[in-house]
A and B are shown apart, each in its own frame.
Chain A
Amino acid sequence: MKFSARSLFANALSGHENWPEQFPNKEPKKEYDVVIVGAGGHGLGAAYYLASKYGITNVAVVEKGWLGGGNTGRNTTIIRSNYLFDESARIYDHALDLWDGLSQELNYNVMYSKRGVLMLAHNVHDVQSFKRHVHANRLNGVDNVWLSPEECQKIVPFLDISQNRRYPVMGGAFQQRGGVARHDSVAWGYARGASKLGVDIIQNCKVIGIRRGADGAVEGVETEKGFIGAKKIGVSTAGNSSVLMEMAGLRFPLESYPLQALVSEPVKPIVPCVIMSNAVHAYISQSDKGELVIGAGTDQYTSYSQRGALHIVEHTIMSICEIFPIFRRMRMLRNWGGIVDVTPDRSPILGKTPVQGLYVNCGWGTGGFKATPGAADMLAYTIAHDAPHKINAPYNLDRFVGGRLIDEAAAAAVAH
């Protein structure tokens, strides 16, 4: 089934009751060429690219819960690529290039909206560091421009640019290609695309072990639905990556923290782009439904509870109200938490592991959604070639021994 104007019209006539199933829920076969653990955007995307770009279709994606129910369904859907370092620019911009044609490629509307990402500068340090980012980005061919307060206000009409405030707006860095996408659609679109190409998606099937042979190479995964054989296993499990790695006897430089977000009641369109403020520590955008989508930093302690403390959310809202007093009387509808796996340098680990046949895509921390297509493609490439692509080669595990860190910690501490 292909989505088209005609199919939409025909199904409207029958009250939208006859749409066929988008992706079947399969039972596992005995053996696959590749098993991907984790059916979020990253995992499903990797399965899709394995089948579509690298010609490996005998693939299963196993998921402990439901598809897209982890961090793919728990983020604030922000997309941007204005990172400081060369390695980051390459991988995030690769993702942005793939976001561009994704809806057409998948024949599924992921609602990628290039409404822009505006990062506000409130002090001299912000101005200097954002300008440095802008220059670094332009050298890397990443679009990012410096805007004066008046130019910021042209984009965000309700922005108060008077200079006698506690946090005056002294300018901003603006990436036009940044924006948002519909997070569920990304998971569903990749799932539909992958299962069309022969990938089995197996939900409610928790992985409880990784079986390794006498030579140390992987032989498959032990799951709640029995053993599934595979010579290659790709792990794409975000907050639970340490747990999965431990099953293969590996200890990773990861810590899992809750990251919270919240949405308000829906209102008329007011926030035209994603607005971030590192100094005041919060960011805001508006969904197509009209809800204000608000987020900030992680909770302070490691946890797997998928919820966080209320005082963290309170702090986030105080920050939003400090920059945008106009939102003081908005009511918040819901808040939630996801578990993010954070590396010491706040950059991901994406590539091979010391175990033969085991590949990993983890450590995206607070900013994995924006990288979904790029990370998925790179994981698929690495699995297919048993070697990393030059884009993800720097994101190896060895950098924590050799010292060649990609230290985005300072550059991306808040805004993700």
Chain B
Amino acid sequence: MMLIHCPYCDEKRPEIEFAYAGEAHIVRPNAAEQQAMDDVEWSKFMFIRDNKRGEHCERWWHANGCNMYFNAVRNTVTDKFIKSYKIGQKRPSAAQIQKWKDQANG
């Protein structure tokens, strides 16, 4: 079982307290934007996901804890969490992720 760091509790807690909530940083278009979207764009928003081998930005929900949603970067090949961060923070750049990895490796 993985230990996941919740940025709101600032604690590492066991995986069973959390629920996975899909890819992060997918912004739902507002009503006006939806009106302007065609089927292809809507399909992209609705169905197309990153599904990368490697670092993946994703949402987690601390369902059996503080009940907050947060984002995290995890390596999908090793399942290792690199960093979790609060909702509202921008998608980290590749350089930022590398920096976090270097920090974690000390």
Complex CA–CA separation, A254 to B51 (angstroms)? 7
Are A255 and B51 also in contact (CB < 8 A) when A303-B79, A305-B78, A401-B43 are? yes
Q: Does A256 contact B (CB under 8 A)?
A: yes
Q: Which residue of chain A lies nearest to B77 when distances are taken between CB atoms in the complex? A: A304
Q: How far is the CB of A301 from chain B (nearest CB, A)?
A: 4
Q: Does A402 contact B (CB under 8 A)?
A: yes
Stretch of B13-21, B28-36, B89-97, B98-106 contacting A (4+ beta carbons < 8 Å): B13-21
Chain A residues with Cβ below 8 Å from B79 are 303, 305
Q: Which residue of chain A lies nearest to B78 when distances are taken between CB atoms in the complex? A: A305
Complex CA–CA separation, A304 to B48 (angstroms)? 18
Q: How far is the CB of B44 from chain A (nearest CB, A)?
A: 8
* Pairwise interchain contact A304-B76, C-beta atoms closer than 8 A: yes
Return the CB mask of A372-416 against B: 1 if under 8 Å, else 0: 000000000000000000000000000011110000000000000
Q: Does B49 contact A (CB under 8 A)?
A: yes
Residue from B44, B49, B53 within 8 A of A243 (CB atoms): B53
* Pairwise interchain contact A401-B39, C-beta atoms closer than 8 A: yes
What class of interface size applies to chain A in its complex with B?
20 to 34
| Residues A211-252 near B (CB distance < 8 A) | 240, 242-243, 251-252
Chain B residues with Cβ below 8 Å from A255 are 49, 51
| Residues B33-85 near A (CB distance < 8 A) | 39-40, 43-44, 46-49, 51-53, 56, 58, 74, 76-79
Q: Which residue of chain B lies nearest to A345 when distances are taken between CB atoms in the complex? A: B47
Chain B residues with Cβ below 8 Å from A300 are 19-20
* Pairwise interchain contact B53-A252, C-beta atoms closer than 8 A: no
Chain A residues with Cβ below 8 Å from B46 are 344, 400
* Pairwise interchain contact A301-B20, C-beta atoms closer than 8 A: yes
Complex CA–CA separation, A309 to B74 (angstroms)? 15
**Which secondary structure dominates where chain B touches chain A?**
mixed
Q: Which residue of chain B lies nearest to A301 when distances are taken between CB atoms in the complex? A: B20
Q: Does A326 contact B (CB under 8 A)?
A: no
* Pairwise interchain contact B39-A344, C-beta atoms closer than 8 A: no
* Pairwise interchain contact A302-B1, C-beta atoms closer than 8 A: no
Q: Does A253 contact B (CB under 8 A)?
A: yes
Complex CA–CA separation, A344 to B49 (angstroms)? 10
Chain B residues with Cβ below 8 Å from A402 are 39
Residue from A252, A253, A305, A400 within 8 A of B77 (CB atoms): A305
* Pairwise interchain contact B76-A302, C-beta atoms closer than 8 A: yes
* Pairwise interchain contact A310-B47, C-beta atoms closer than 8 A: no
Chain A residues with Cβ below 8 Å from B20 are 300-302
* Pairwise interchain contact A302-B56, C-beta atoms closer than 8 A: yes
* Pairwise interchain contact A309-B78, C-beta atoms closer than 8 A: no
Chain B residues with Cβ below 8 Å from A311 are 1, 15-16
Q: How far is the CB of B34 from chain A (nearest CB, A)?
A: 15
Q: How far is the CB of B90 from chain A (nearest CB, A)?
A: 22
* Pairwise interchain contact B1-A309, C-beta atoms closer than 8 A: yes
Question: Which residue, A243, A254, A300, A401, has most C-beta atoms of chain B within 10 A?
Answer: A401
Q: How far is the CB of B31 from chain A (nearest CB, A)?
A: 20
Q: Does B2 contact A (CB under 8 A)?
A: yes
Q: How far is the CB of B84 from chain A (nearest CB, A)?
A: 13
Q: Which residue of chain B lies nearest to A405 when distances are taken between CB atoms in the complex? A: B47
Chain B residues with Cβ below 8 Å from A304 are 53, 76-77
* Pairwise interchain contact B47-A305, C-beta atoms closer than 8 A: no
* Pairwise interchain contact A303-B76, C-beta atoms closer than 8 A: yes
Q: Which residue of chain A lies nearest to B79 when distances are taken between CB atoms in the complex? A: A305
- What are 18 contact pairs spanning A and B, CB under 8 A? A242-B51, A252-B48, A301-B20, A301-B74, A302-B58, A303-B76, A304-B76, A305-B77, A305-B79, A309-B1, A309-B15, A310-B1, A311-B1, A311-B15, A311-B16, A400-B46, A401-B43, A402-B39
Contacts from A to B (Cβ < 8 Å):
240, 242-243, 251-256, 300-305, 309-311, 344, 400-403
Given contacts A253-B48, A253-B49, A254-B51, 13 further A-B contacts (CB under 8 A): A242-B52, A253-B43, A301-B74, A303-B76, A303-B77, A303-B79, A305-B77, A309-B2, A311-B16, A344-B46, A400-B47, A401-B43, A403-B39
